[in-house]
Amino acid sequence: EVQLVESGGGLVQPGGSLRLSCSASGFTFSSYAMHWVRQAPGKGLEYVSAIISNGGSTYYADSVKGRFTISRDNSKNTLYLQMSSLRAEDTAIYYCVKESESWGQGTLVTVSS
Amino acid sequence: DIQMTQSPSSVSASVGDRVTITCRASQSISSWLAWYQQKPGKAPKLLIYAASTLQSGVPSRFSGSGSGTDFTLTISSLQPEDFATYYCQQTNSFPLTFGGGTKVEIK
């Protein structure tokens, strides 16, 4: 069974940094592209970032480009999202996603002073 | 980036009703479209991929159609567990953008 478990969320001040992790199990992690999707409170889904299976290519939404960095450690079956220069509008639940069919439970990031 | 426009943004319906949600892409995405269902406090659940392929375990009352720029999600006979918010997502090119969502409410 595919399991994706996000961690690392919390309260951070504007301008601060945070690193999210997603621990994957139940599938061959190194064979799949992985994604981050976020959802602000009461709002719709927003695509954030993707990384291909070997980490060789990455993609970002314009709203996070230059501030967020996606990476992965295939030896640890773990996906990361390094977030810096955080803004209030980055407040959201962040989901780790495999393909389209498997989503984690999400981790809440709150950016506030 | 490809823009995805969903309509309506909300719909009120009764159990047993047929419900149709549309999604329009700002450029052709062939059949690279997915539909999700999301209930409050839960992660989205994949219903349909490749525009019309039902994900394993999803009831057959859900169906998808379309190609190019215009797509439709149909629930043939609405059940109590179907009241939720539905999203489309284009999977043609990065960033894989979502539609704004359609909330299906009880009439």
How far apart CA A2 and CA A20 sit, in angstroms, is: 19
Residue of B34, B94, B97 lying closest to A100 (CB–CB): B34
pLDDT of residue A99: 85
Torsion angle of alpha carbons A109, B101, A62, A24, nearest 10°?
A: 50
Rounded Cα distance between B65 and B18, Å, is 15
Confidence check: pLDDT of A33 > 90? yes
Predicted pLDDT at B99: 98
Residue A17: is its pLDDT beyond 90? yes
Residue B89: how many other CB atoms lie within 10 Å: 23
- Residue of A4, A35, A47 to mutate for B, most B C-beta atoms under 10 A: A47
Q: Report which of A41, A45, A46, A3 is spatially closest to residue A22, judged by C-alpha positions.
A: A3
In this prediction, residue B107 carries a pLDDT of 86
Chain B hits for A105, CB-CB cut-off 8 Å, are 43
Report CB contact under 8 Å: B36, A45. Answer: yes
Is B43 in Cβ contact with A105 (below 8 Å)? yes
Task: Summarize pLDDT for A40-67 with one digit per residue, the tens.
Answer: 999 999 999 999 999 999 999 999 999 9
User: Exposed, middle or buried by CB within 10 Å (0-12, 13-18, 19+), for B71?
Assistant: buried
DSSP string across A9-44: -EEE-TT--EEEEEEEESS-GGGS-EEEEEE-TTS-
- In B1-107, DSSP assigns E strands to 4-7, 10-13, 19-25, 33-38, 45-49, 53-54, 62-67, 70-75, 85-90, 102-106
Question: A101 to chain B: which residues are within 8 Å by CB?
Answer: 46, 49, 55
Residue written as tokens 């059940």? B79
Window 41-100 of A: residues touching B by CB (8 A cutoff) are: 44-47, 50, 59-62, 95, 100
pLDDT at A92: 98
Whether residue A103 has pLDDT greater than 90? yes
Average pLDDT, whole number, for chain B? 97
Query: What residues of chain B score a pLDDT lower than 70?
Result: none
Judge: A44–B101 Cβ closer than 8 Å, yes or no. yes
Q: What are phi and psi of A29, to 5 degrees?
A: -55, -40
